[in-house]
Structure 1
Amino acid sequence: MTSFHEVQFPLRLALGTSGGPSRRTDIVSLSNGRESRNRRWKDARRHYDVGSGLRSVVDLYEVQAFFEARAGQLYGFRFTDPVDFKSCGPQQQISAADQHLGTGNGERRIFQLRKTYQDAGGATERVIAKPVAETVVMEVGDVVSGIDDFAVDPSTGLVTFSVAATPPDGAVIRAGFHFDVPVRFDIDRIEIDLNAFDAGRIPSIPLIEIMP
């Protein structure tokens, strides 16, 4: 991913963040009162506002310094969604069996990390491009892989198995992991009013997901 810094927005400041996924759907009301709905975006795009996580002038300075280091909107960075940052739920422990990545054919060695959101009504799949590499655990055909059996690219989310550990034909590949969201600032200017901040008003500092 070009124009991206592999650095993380301060986790301490992310804990008070507001925001989440958004989608774009065209809805047309028909003459009979029914609706025609069309999904314009295949994947959700996440928006956040980190201004709500700021509690002090020290916090303001830290965000301002981070903003300057990214040159405003120019460079993307990693952001940990306080709600959705694991291959499982936020209060669960990750497992090598959490997410289905594909099936081996005896030759394929590279698999993309993904996360599937599903219930009885449907499912949607999300590409995970910014995993926390040291947290990734893999499973091939119900057998947990050794740490020397695969390598993870933290900048793309691609997992490459070693030649000796190439998944056999028909083996189901699963993974567990922590991950970040690739984002950028959605503004080129930060407005800071210390009097208003002390009185309870906080600046709006929006972030927007960079799609892989």
Structure 2
Amino acid sequence: MAFHEIRFPADLSFGSMGGPERRTEIVALTNGFEERNTPWAHSRRRYDAGVGLRSLDDMAALIAFFEARAGQLHGFRWKDWADYKSCAPSGVVAPGDQLIGTGDGLRVEFGLRKLYRSGAEGYLRPITKPVAGTVRIAVGGVERFEGQDYDIDHGSGVVVLHKAPMMEAPVTAGFEFDVPVRFDTDRIAVSVASFQAGDVPQVPVVELRL
């Protein structure tokens, strides 16, 4: 399966429904207690691309995008309007938003990631599809600049510093990002009459593991 580095039209994904999904295995014991475990280290997001459609032109754009991806065959980028920044949705991306590593004098490659924290617990989400032109990097609290101080692979989210940070120097990043997804169906069923009456098609989209 190939991945197409193209974003699903952001104006169509605006208003779509979706979010993270977890998988938990629960075993009920004979004493009334239960054991819980998960085979997934990371959550997986699902969306419905049909909810954001507002006109027949939107429908045509969706069908064109679907056909160009050959249904489920090829992955693509998706903007999750509820979660697409390294900072709060109302904030402005800054180079100190997320800690992505600590210097050891040797390491130069750091993968982008985002921390979701609640109380004493947290989840580190790998970010593999940063948006070009939005990434900001700092080392030891001093901002660095792309091309001059580091390079970034926008297809994997890996930052390569031109010089290894000193011991214990924090490497931080701010960025906007997309979610790597594919269509979770090979069929779109739509009627012009039902669409104009307010009945939009269901077009499931699911996050890809890359």
TM-score (ref. length: structure 2): 0.96
Separation in structure 1 between the aligned mates of residue 185 and residue 203 of structure 2, nearest angstrom? 7
Counterpart of 2:14? 15
Separation in structure 2 between the aligned mates of residue 194 and residue 21 of structure 1, nearest angstrom? 32
CA shift digits 1:157-195 (9 cap, x unpaired)? 000111xx3211221111000000000000001101111
The letter of the residue matching 2:9 is: P
Counterpart of 1:157? 157
Query: Is the contact between residue 105 and residue 169 of structure 1 (CA under 8 Å) also seen in structure 2?
Result: yes
Query: Is the contact between residue 132 and residue 180 of structure 1 (CA under 8 Å) also seen in structure 2?
Result: yes
Separation in structure 2 between the aligned mates of residue 74 and residue 39 of structure 1, nearest angstrom? 28
Query: Is the contact between residue 80 and residue 180 of structure 1 (CA under 8 Å) also seen in structure 2?
Result: yes
The letter of the residue matching 1:184 is: R
Counterpart of 2:182? 184
Deviation of 1:108 after TM superposition, in Å, equals: 1.1
The letter of the residue matching 1:106 is: G
Deviation of 1:32 after TM superposition, in Å, equals: 2.4
**What is the DSSP-based 3-state SS (H/G/I as helix, E as strand, rest coil) of the residue aligned with 1:195?**
helix
The count of corresponding residues between Structure 1 and Structure 2 is 209
The letter of the residue matching 1:6 is: E
Deviation of 1:31 after TM superposition, in Å, equals: 2.1
Deviation of 1:211 after TM superposition, in Å, equals: 1.0
Deviation of 1:196 after TM superposition, in Å, equals: 1.0
Counterpart of 1:112? 111
**What is the DSSP-based 3-state SS (H/G/I as helix, E as strand, rest coil) of the residue aligned with 2:51?**
helix
Counterpart of 1:195? 193
Which residues of structure 1 form unaligned runs of 5+? none
The letter of the residue matching 1:150 is: Y
RMSD: 1.0
Query: Aligned ranges for residues 83-162 of structure 1 at < 5 Å?
Result: 83-147=82-146, 148-162=148-162
Separation in structure 1 between the aligned mates of residue 169 and residue 120 of structure 2, nearest angstrom? 27
Deviation of 1:135 after TM superposition, in Å, equals: 0.7
TM-score (ref. length: structure 1): 0.96
Separation in structure 2 between the aligned mates of residue 10 and residue 126 of structure 1, nearest angstrom? 24
